[in-house]
Structure 1
């Protein structure tokens, strides 16, 4: 969510490389985020040339902002 909150959108390959995760792990996480309404998915092309892009949604941006606020509050209390 941090990458998407700054970039707005990113493709699957970029996120996989940037985060250093497997295809399977990224796919599972993005499916969960999509199910929660936090990211939108756009697919273009077919076969080997296909591209999957993820874009943060308004609710996703709000949830991420709240998450960061809570983490900061927890760290400040420590």
Structure 2
């Protein structure tokens, strides 16, 4: 079932929109990859990830690897649907 187009203010902020776009094409992405792709500080990325996680759009997984703590992010089923609906709404608005 295709979600109805819906503008989502949680996703719409440029950083969060970029995060969702990156994660929509992969199973998961490491924190450092997202930080580097967005060109933001750890704290800025953390705030974006926390808001997406609190909205139920994103899940974070933490594990120790190579002697250091690593964090991976992935879109939840709800997050994928919300992102798809948001992009559909942007496309609808652009076509007006």
Match of 1:43 in 2: 62
Which runs of 4 or more aligned residues in structure 1 lie more than 4 Å from their structure 2 counterparts after TM superposition? none
Whole-angstrom distance in 2 between the partners of 1:8 and 1:19? 18
Match of 1:16 among 19, 30, 35: 35
- Aligned CA-pair RMSD: 1.3
Structure number with the bigger relative contact order (C-alpha 8 A, sep ≥ 6) is 2
Q: Larger helix proportion, structure 1 or 2?
A: 1
TM-score by length of 2: 0.76
Unaligned runs of 5+ in 2: 1-19
Match of 1:59 among 51, 66, 78: 78
Q: Does 1:70 align with 2:89?
A: yes
TM-score by length of 1: 0.92
Whole-angstrom distance in 2 between the partners of 1:49 and 1:29? 22
Unaligned runs of 5+ in 1: none
